[in-house]
Amino acid sequence: MAKQKKHPQGSIAQNKKAMHDYFVESRFEAGLALAGWEVKSLRAGKAQLVDSYVLLKDDEAWLMGCHITPLKTASTHVIADPTRTRKLLLNRRELEKLFGAVQQKGHTCVALSLYWKQHLVKCEIALAKGKKDFDKRHTEKERDADREVQRAMRSKGKDE
C-alpha cells in the first residue's frame, strides 16, 4: 500500500490589520469553495488576507478581497483570477446570526485567517466592531506596558 501524504498543518495566511482596526466580538469557522489551482497555491502558502472582508448577500456569505496568487505551473486553459469572490460555507444558523449582527450600526464581518483543518481549507471570520483612533492608541499603550513588564521580569530572573 502506498503511504498517504501528510497534509500541511497550521496557518496559511493571517489578517493582522483586522486585529488592529477592529474589536473582535465573536469568531466563526467557515469552509471555502475553491478551485483546484487555488488549493495548490494555498499549499504553497501564496495567499494574502489584507483588506479582505465578508459580504453577506442573498442568504449567502462571500469572501471578498482575498488574494490567492496562481502558481506559474497552473493550467493555461483556465484563466486564474487571483481576487475572485469565493463562497463561504456556513450553517444556516450561523448565517442568520451574522445577518442580524451586521444590521447593527458599526458592526462588520472580516476574515481573520486561512488555515488547514485536516485536508480542508478553513477561513476564520469574525463579527467585529470598528475601532476609533483613540482606541487604537490605547491598545498600543497596553501592549507596550505589557512588553515592558515582560522585559523587566526577564532581566530580574537573569540577575539572580
What confidence score (pLDDT) does residue 23 get? 82
Residue 33: pLDDT over 80: yes
pLDDT digits (tens, 9 = 90+) for 91-144: 999 888 888 888 888 888 889 888 888 888 899 998 888 777 777 788 888 888
Per-residue confidence (pLDDT) for residue 31, from 0 to 100? 92
| Confidence (pTM) | 0.72
Q: Are 71 and 65 in contact (CB under 8 A)?
A: no
Q: What is the pLDDT, as a whole number, of residue 159?
A: 61
Q: Cell numbers of 59, please? A: 442568504
Cα distance between residue 16 and residue 31, in whole Å:
20
Show the cell assigned to 39.
488549493
Backbone angles phi, psi at 85, to 5 degrees: -80, 135
Residue 2 pLDDT > 60: no
> If one looks up domain 10-131 in CATH, what number appears?
2.40.280.10
Which bin fits 116, alpha (ψ -120 to 50), beta or left (φ > 0)? beta
